[in-house]
Structures are given as C-alpha cells and as structure tokens.
C-alpha cells in the first residue's frame, strides 16, 4: 500500500499487462472485449470508453479505506485464479506519469451530480478518476507487479466448497 499512496494508477492483471506492453496502449473496454466483472459491468468509466485510474494523491486513510470497501484494489477477487490446492492473483499496478495528471478527468462535485443522473452507473467517490480514450503506454512511469498466493481454505468446508465452485465456474479470460 505504501508504494501506491500518493500515486495515480491503473490496475490490471500481469497477463493483461503483457498484452498492453505489446500493444503500446491501455485500451478502453467500452464494448466489453476484455470481459466484464460485476463492478465494470455498470461502470460509468467503461460506458464512456475511458480508462479507470485510482488517485491516491492527498487522500486520507478514511478515503482509502472507503475505496477498498467499494473496490479492493489490493486483491480484487475477480482477478483471482483458482486451483484445487491454492488461489493466486498476479496483479500489475500501472503508475501514471505525473506529467499526464492534467489529462485526467477528475471525480469532483460537478462531475458527481452528472454521474448520479445516469441510472445504474457506478463509480468510486473520492479516488476514481479517468483518462478519456485509450492511454498510450508512454504515459505510464512505472509498473509494480505483485503475486498474491493463498492456500486453499481446506480447513473450512464452506469456504473450500466456494473455492472449488470458483474453479468449476471459472470464466474464460479475454485479456486486459
């Protein structure tokens, strides 16, 4: 968390990051070509054809905690890959270069009222911001790649049953 505080970043999987490096862009997902999770399905950002970022500059601990409740960017379950013995997340945090901050669409009061008038559209107050369109990879200053590995919860039948269901119901990955 300390490496993300004070930064603006886009979160994706390591696999998607490899594709981003090849393409030279973070492409928007307006048409759902990279698959959708429950939070991106009704995302205001995705609907606009923008790229989502988390802005942790000058944010209080409470702002960050509330963001993590809404979207756990430290370990989003939809990025988890399940195997019988374990689960694993391979995440990539793409840190935006500060020279690109002025190109971001800020999440401030005038924007909030506009967003709230779009029925069913979701966004994250205080910390979500957006880049309009596809983002050139040259706008990214650094990337932090993280691997989170957990043993399967075999000690708890209920949790292990859900773990096994995740394997059975695993959707096909589409990329970014």
- Under a CB-based contact definition with an 8 Å cutoff, are residues 25 and 135 in contact? yes
pLDDT (tens digit, 9 = 90+) per residue, 42-85?
777 878 889 999 999 999 999 999 999 888 898 887 788 878 88
Spans in the chain with pLDDT lower than 50? 109-110, 174-176
Amino acid 26: pLDDT: 96
Q: Is residue 176 part of a domain?
A: no
Q: Is residue 73 part of a domain?
A: yes
Q: Is residue 28 part of a domain?
A: yes
Q: How many domains are contained in the chain?
A: 1
Q: Which domain holds residue 102?
A: 8-168
Q: Three-class SS string for 101-120?
A: HHHCECCCHHHHHHHHCCCC
Amino acid 106: pLDDT: 86
Q: Is residue 107 part of a domain?
A: yes
Amino acid 110: pLDDT: 43
Amino acid 36: pLDDT: 63
Q: Is residue 3 part of a domain?
A: no
Q: Is residue 2 part of a domain?
A: no
Amino acid 9: pLDDT: 97
Under DSSP, is residue 96 helix (H, G, I), strand (E, B) or coil?
strand
Element containing residue 70 per DSSP (H, E) = helix 61-70
Amino acid 128: pLDDT: 92
Supply the pTM of this predicted model: 0.81
Q: Is residue 175 part of a domain?
A: no
Q: Is residue 1 part of a domain?
A: no
Q: What is the mean pLDDT of the chain?
A: 85
Amino acid 174: pLDDT: 47
Distance of alpha carbon 11 from alpha carbon 27, whole angstroms = 13
Amino acid 34: pLDDT: 78
Under DSSP, is residue 75 helix (H, G, I), strand (E, B) or coil?
coil
């Amino acid at each position: 968390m300390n490496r993300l505080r004070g930064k603006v970043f886009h979160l994706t999987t390591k696999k998607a990051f490899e594709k981003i490096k090849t393409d030279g862009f973070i492409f928007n997902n307006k048409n759902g070509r990279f698959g959708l999770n429950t939070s991106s399905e009704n995302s205001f950002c995705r609907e606009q054809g923008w790229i989502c970022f988390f802005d942790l500059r000058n944010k209080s601990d409470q702002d960050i905690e509330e963001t993590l409740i809404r979207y756990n960017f430290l370990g989003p379950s939809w990025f988890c890959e399940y195997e019988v013995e374990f689960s694993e997340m391979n995440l990539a945090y793409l840190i935006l270069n500060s020279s690109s901050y002025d190109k971001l669409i800020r999440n401030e009061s005038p924007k909030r009222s506009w967003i709230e008038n779009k029925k069913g559209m979701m966004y994250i107050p205080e910390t979500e911001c957006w880049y309009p369109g596809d983002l050139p990879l040259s706008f990214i200053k650094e990337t932090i790649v993280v691997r989170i590995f957990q043993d399967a919860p075999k000690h708890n039948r209920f949790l292990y049953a859900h773990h096994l269901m995740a394997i059975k119901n695993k959707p096909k990955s589409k990329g970014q």
